[in-house]
A and B are shown apart, each in its own frame.
Chain A
Amino acid sequence: MIQLHYFVNQSYIGYPHEAAADFGAVMLKFSNRHFDAQRAADLYDRYHREFVLAEQVGFDSVLVNEHHNAPILSPIPNISATVLAKITSRVKIFIGGNILPTNGNPLRLAEELAMIDLISKGRLISGFVRGGANESLALSANTVHNREVFEEAHDLILAAWTRPGPFAWEGKHFQYHVVNPWVLPYQKPHPPIMIPGSTSRETVDWAARHGYPYIALATNLEATDDLFRTYNEIASSSGHRVGPGHRGYMIRVHVADDEAQAHEEGRKLFGSRVAQVTSMSKMNIHPDAGAWMAPPGYVTREAARLRRKYMGGTPYAFFTQGYEGALANSSIIVGTPDQVVAKLDALRRRWRLGNIGISNLPIDDEAITVRNLELFGAKVFPRLRELAAEDTAAELAA
């Protein structure tokens, strides 16, 4: 059994690329004067069409996320999820995820998520994330408290969903005189929770302790080996029976009918302003951008030490490696359906994955995206599911 998740970042692809290059970043302080309302409204239509198509071609879930102060049309994932609840009928709606430390009112968030689960008749997968550091800065949430707030907000949401009210909540960061939401989730005891992340060791530990599936977001392959080893150990020792369903990996994939065409399009996708960065490698990165990625207290001292040692603090590593580098480093998969199946299946076997996230890089030419999705449905998924089912059968036999 393999669950296939469709993700598109709902990028606002209408901003002038040169402006971003001049400014040296596409986040936090990159001015919203480059935002055009009509263009954004049209893009919402387009992304909604793509989500519906993703359902039609056979994805198991469609995934939305949360970003602020950036050309991404997804500051409030719960609104996207509500739309999806009404324009799709079968797929799971995966919010991957709500940024708990910036939310401010987790009780209201518990209510919003319960509404989505009810309106979709139990199709919600609720992801929770700490959010990139720049998201906390965009909403002025104190980065020093990020992890504590994440954990307490989670505990409160779970309590609101599962403990009969009324009761009071006296936490360090949240206090409520009365917790008694009258709108509760459709799924019992609560919607499934999955934790997307990009290797922060503490989040892996936390997800494993709770037995929540962990979805690694395009992380470096060797780092991901360690990550899942750690996850499996901690989850098992916390009493969870760990199976493929607990592990997921999300990666940018593009498929086309023949190889040359796939790479021609892949290069365009990677290099297009839509991918948000085009020539990040060529531009001068804003002198403050390092601070926006790593404000005080956002990562542990240990993590900060490792970052100083290994990364030298560069923010746009994915883009600065270039297209060929991204292929070589397996941070993007591009090819014919057969090639893509082989690569995705290799990842599945490497970590015994039960979840694969397909991240789509949007581009102006919608036809490319549509063909990509159709090929997934017709030629990638059937074989991928077959291979996964063979493994499952073999395991059961053993």
Chain B
Amino acid sequence: MRGFTYTRASDADTAIRAVVHNAEAKFIGGGTNLVDLMRENVERPSEVVDVNGLPFAQIEELPNGSLRLGAMARNSHTANHPLVRVRYPVLAQALLSAASPQLRNMATNAGNLLQRTRCYYFYDTTAPCNKRQPGTGCSALAGYNRLHAILGTSPQCIATHPSDMTVALAALDAIVQVQGPNGQRSLPIADFHRLPGDTPERDTNLGHDELITAIDLPALPFARHSLYLKVRDRPSFAFALVSVAGVLKLSDNRIQEVRLALGGVAHKPWRAHKAEEILTGAPATPELFRRAAEAELQTAVGFEHNAFKIELAKRIMVRALTTLTERRLA
């Protein structure tokens, strides 16, 4: 690991000032991903700014009914907050499906959004990787690509975003609150992460000198009827092959509103707008669910080892919709 200077920030302005003039500076929260990447020499900051002392660990209800998740609140605390468990079960489940209890106690909400792909070639500093070293090529395209993306890929990169939390946030239309040297701004979760395109080295639209302060969950009463399904190689402590966050509002077996987002399939959490369009207003039937899933995956492209994800994604969408419908009718 490269040596670095370490400072602690006690407020956001100090933290931002510390990184603004140093392109090699990094914030550290839980460290679960950054320390690992530093040890592998994938990340080589010259300066690490500890933001654990910042006053953003609260989870609180806002006057407009939103729930504000502090950037520094731990994933375990967020998942177990009573309002998250009751109002947004899809988020509680997504958080609890991720990593292990020890890692969830360390990982912060902001850090979860900023974690990097687990593509093996991104971690392997001897392999070409456009995300780690732009212009060197993508080793996964012709390599072992079982975990890789099937939607929104580019010839430059087929990595997936590994987070479960962000898949639930995508379904809930969360808002990411950000502070930078010039003030604050709000980024809808849909605009937070990027597709790889020609700049796979950029995971997000967050500036180097910007700091996440909170993630807001808009009031969404029907999110009480939501779930997170995750298919993986072992039943615990594994990244998703494919996952789905689903939120459903039914009235007399007719779909009034629906939110679906897929994980493990793209460079960002994949909101299933095409499927939602087909589902909204229609009677909830297995045939409709399948048709919506087919439409969403129409543009999917599989690679040598991950083509199974296309059918898997369809089936898990159908399973989520079926389960949510059955629960409502029970």
Indicate, yes or no, whether A interacts with B.
Answer: no
List residues of B whose CB falls within 8 A of some A CB.
none
